[in-house]
Structure 1
């Protein structure tokens, strides 16, 4: 995937002449969350602008306090007030347990509430057992919604930002989270293997939603990650409702390109089959950052705001992901795959490629776009329509909970 598409197509979608101030703030927050060094923001401003997944500790405390007070029909209570001493009985305890479990997706029953009957005590128990996800990895694009969330896995670029364009094309009741690569924000070590990356993301997803059903989506490398995470979740007995792959195939044995070829691929505009001669000449290592920056400014390249450190970090993530995506498939997914392929591939090719690694069916469909255009507005509308139909709950889904 060309890195600059992360910026270019979002600029087209969110920074148009008709964008509202809210649209611009949303775009800027998403871009800063993915690459704070590209916009010159500090760590503190990054933490303020980022949408923290699920709830912050403060929001968890406020929510529990409000639910305790509502169930007990009291106008106010303190963090140390005992639920049962204030009139809580088994019926009210059952109502509180159901509401917290439905909101957070956690394992909670009345015996736990009896052991931790205060807001402070229950918050401490839940925070220890269900830590918050890492905000450098998990971006909450839309937290609201009553359906199970859709988790979107990054492509080779490592950015979760491109999926910002998908969530308006999904049913409003579906929360949407995007995962982005470690190494884009802060000096974090890159994963040494695809297994390490998939294990990490599985843990982060389960911090947002401890139990299924799960819904997973990924473009290119992200498709492979969705497959790997789906396998892990099924292996521990969790229901996986959707694994959707966007232009993603098992590795075909192609060798890893050399570093300068990968750099050209990363920087070439999507409208071109290859870099123009001037850009191609600048894609030499070690990089002449001053000359490359001047070219970016003069041509209004979407990466013109990236400084030398940010460009180097992005390239290292991209190069590492190019290596990881070539990892042979060793697992089998216990379920059905939905494959949306680009125009240059036939659906039958996706079925043949993935069928050996799936116990269920491979539902493959073709989109009228190239691989690199999957995150453009028109393809995203088509992808959103297919996903919305697949995600729409059917009668009898997600049945009644018990509180025992």
Structure 2
């Protein structure tokens, strides 16, 4: 796993354990960039999926993906102490990484799961729904209002059996995507997204995580069937205003930043002698 998948987002206080932020199903770590400026100078590093902006593709197995990211983080963080954060699918990857890093002797003072549903296994959604979710993500990143409605409107003209590649000209003709997102880039990023969705839905978190976990829920998101309290012992939950995407701007981002900043401060405070790592 190449180290160039790690994106430094700033933070000048080298005395604080770095925070590694794992990508969502899109493969992009850039949604975390606004958060990085709200964390008191803590070093923040985004973890981007292979294939999102370069060669390669992620494995369609979440455990294998977590193993590869752990090896990359180990090379980048010789101090053997770090915090982890993941939004959406990234929460499940970060949870698996935290288990593996602790087993390798790392201190993980805090694991943050942002609007991340714990999956209980189950079938992968049909291809048409995966494509609709991918398109909604693209239009959200483009800053468009009502992205799910826009995506549904465009994809409604696409025959169910049509190859995915035939969707991209429809979005370009509708003026919803910039021309620099050409068919080759969109094909590659859709395959990254499809593999990540497959990995997520086939995964069930391993129970018994003993470390400190902050779960941040969006007030407008529906709860999942499996709770993080079912697989981790030390879980605190906070709710911030907004939906799955809007928590990354405006009042949602302000509340999210405050919750993560306060939890990181608490987790980084000196521990009493003999306290667990």
What TM-score comes out, normalization by structure 1 length? 0.59
1:165 paired with 2:18, answer no
1:218 maps to which of 69, 86, 89: 86
Q: Post-superposition shift, 1:255?
A: 2.8
Q: Post-superposition shift, 1:387?
A: 1.1
2:243 maps to which of 370, 377, 380: 370
Instruction: Tell me the residue number matched to 1:32.
Output: none
Instruction: Tell me the residue number matched to 2:186.
Output: 311
More moved, 317-326 vs 259-268:
259-268
- Structure ranking higher in helix proportion: 1
Separation in 1 of the partners of 2:53 and 2:81?
30
2:218 maps to which of 324, 342, 362: 342
CA deviation digits over 1:228-247, x for unaligned, max 9?
11101111232111100011
Unaligned segments of structure 2, at least 5 residues: 141-145
CA deviation digits over 1:306-325, x for unaligned, max 9?
11110000000000011111
CA deviation digits over 1:228-285, x for unaligned, max 9?
1110111123211110001112214453122222112211345244334234324842
Q: Post-superposition shift, 1:196?
A: 1.1
Instruction: Tell me the residue number matched to 1:278.
Output: 154
Q: Identify if the C-alpha distance between structure 1 residues 292 and 249 changes in structure 2 by more than 3 Å, giving closer, same or farther.
A: same
Q: Post-superposition shift, 1:136?
A: 3.2
Alignment of 1:93-242 (within 5 A): 134-142=2-10, 144-146=12-14, 147-172=16-41, 174-242=42-110
SS at the partner of 2:238? strand
Whether the 8 Å CA contact 1:260–1:285 is kept in 2: the answer is no
Separation in 1 of the partners of 2:237 and 2:26?
24
Instruction: Tell me the residue number matched to 1:95.
Output: none
1:291 paired with 2:164, answer no
Alignment of 1:34-49 (within 5 A): none
Instruction: Tell me the residue number matched to 2:230.
Output: 356
Q: Post-superposition shift, 1:293?
A: 5.3
The higher radius of gyration belongs to 1
Q: Post-superposition shift, 1:351?
A: 11
SS at the partner of 2:85? strand
Instruction: Tell me the residue number matched to 1:99.
Output: none
1:332 paired with 2:201, answer no
Alignment of 1:51-70 (within 5 A): none
Instruction: Tell me the residue number matched to 1:30.
Output: none
Separation in 1 of the partners of 2:190 and 2:224?
29
Unaligned segments of structure 1, at least 5 residues: 1-132, 400-404
Separation in 2 of the partners of 1:325 and 1:165?
25
What TM-score comes out, normalization by structure 2 length? 0.83
Measured on the aligned residues, the alpha-carbon RMSD in Å equals 2.7
SS at the partner of 2:17? coil
Q: Post-superposition shift, 1:302?
A: 4.6
Separation in 1 of the partners of 2:85 and 2:53?
22
Separation in 1 of the partners of 2:90 and 2:130?
18
Alignment of 1:254-273 (within 5 A): 254-268=122-136, 269-270=139-140, 271-273=146-148
Separation in 1 of the partners of 2:92 and 2:156?
30
Q: Post-superposition shift, 1:350?
A: 7.4
Q: Post-superposition shift, 1:392?
A: 1.9
